[in-house]
Structure 1
Amino acid sequence: MEEYEKNIVPHIEAIYDNFTPLEKTIADFFIHNEEKTDLSSKNVSKHLFVSEASLSRFAKKCGYKGYREFIFCYEQGGSTASRRPASDHIKMVLSDYQELLNKSYSLMDEDQIERIAEIISMKKRIYVYGKGSSGLAAMEMKLRFMRIGVTIEAITDVDIMKMNSVLLDSECAAIGISVSGRTEAVINSLKSAKKCGAAVILMTSHVEKRFQNFCDEIMLFAVKANLEEGKAISPQFPILVMVDMLYSRMLRMDYFRRETLHEYTLEVLEKDS
């Protein structure tokens, strides 16, 4: 089983907003430092043009008694408190996620991501179908892509999937999400979408020959035994990995406009919260 090492950088990042501007300068140094240099308080204070007292205050704000304890844990990969090693079941969960990431990389097809991103960009309306955990992934996809100007709707109710077919035409794209590839409500909706002239994309972990009859693109995501039951890890995880790859590609298309839209939607949400 792969060994996992802990370090204190995530802890520094977690409390970053609580730092003063001077402390953020110190935090940035330790977050991004990759060189094995002399990290004594005298050398770091000289390098950052800060006082040694500032380093001590920073270390205490991070939860340490002083800079000496902080730098010891930083170099050793420790944390603010002595913690017992992760148990086997925790390591197993992390290993499962790592396995799915490795499989996702193996399945990733950049040319296909380019084609699907082009479809989403060109079509006037996008509908994403999914049930259960796949439906939750469809909702997340809707929220992400709306922020960059895509007219997209997530449909998770079977009856609405059926009724939605009357809205489809050649200016639409229908994306179905099914881990098993056997969610008939989703599969049937994609068949109807194809008959209406819409572009059809299926995101699944299992390929069947029949899919080629009505799908323009079949995007594979990683799977692991018992993933669909959601026993140890979320079945949404490998789906969202692929969604993020699509999102990243979409963001690079007409980057300035999409980035502006993204920032604007975040500002609107912050005003209303």
Structure 2
Amino acid sequence: MERARQPDRRRNLDVSERPSGVGGVTDIEYATEHLVSQVLTRRARGLRTTCAWLNHYTALRVSGARLPHSFADIVAIDGQLLSRIVGEPPSRRTSADSTLPILLDSLPAARIALVGGSPSSIANFRQAFERRWSKHEVVYCADGYGNRPTPQAFASQILSASVDVAIIGLGAPMQERYLAAIKDACAPDSAIMAFTCGGWMDQFIQPDYYPRWAYPLGLTWLVRLSREPRRLWRRYTVDAIHALIVRRKIRRNIHDWRQQS
């Protein structure tokens, strides 16, 4: 197995051991580096990695989807509200849009599978992806509509294509169903990596989607809401209140999902 590029030495530290503001690196950047290190370490050991990011909205959707409790090897927190619900410092949260670019930069040449979005958006994402990461080869690409395979068929197809990294942007809980199918189909020592990515594909093809100040201030949610108010207003009002009401259930579910990963 070809080795990944040696990650930054800071990624070998537990995020909880780092004092705030050390070395000019923000807490969220440090948490991201730590997660990248965790994934690369699993790969170096020949272990499968399936990773899902949840925020308060996706946690609600997944909670009601009757997914297997062990649907992912890593369940990461993305979102300040969900961080508070599960009792973790918001500084430990990560996201697909911050983690995947660092991971893809760190990996040697890999075979990539992409699924999600409309036919035009996935085509645009593939082009942008191949320009950014020319060392990687996209060997499988499907939109999230009429061309979308079933979760089990997708898992079978990426195994047949010897895919190293699968990126799934189908929205919750559909993308988690696909992740669970991959986890079920792949042996723990298969070394495949699969990730849910939410809206990252659409955001990636718009390089200026998030202003530079949005991440340090923790206001990416506000940027998204201002850009897509008709689609997202309910998520940040009604769904946020609902998540607070059922916070004990969400906290218990996330604990169970992580325990059985």
Give the TM-score normalised by the residue count of structure 2.
0.31
User: Rg larger in 1 or in 2?
Assistant: 1
Q: Tell me the TM-score normalized by structure 1.
A: 0.30
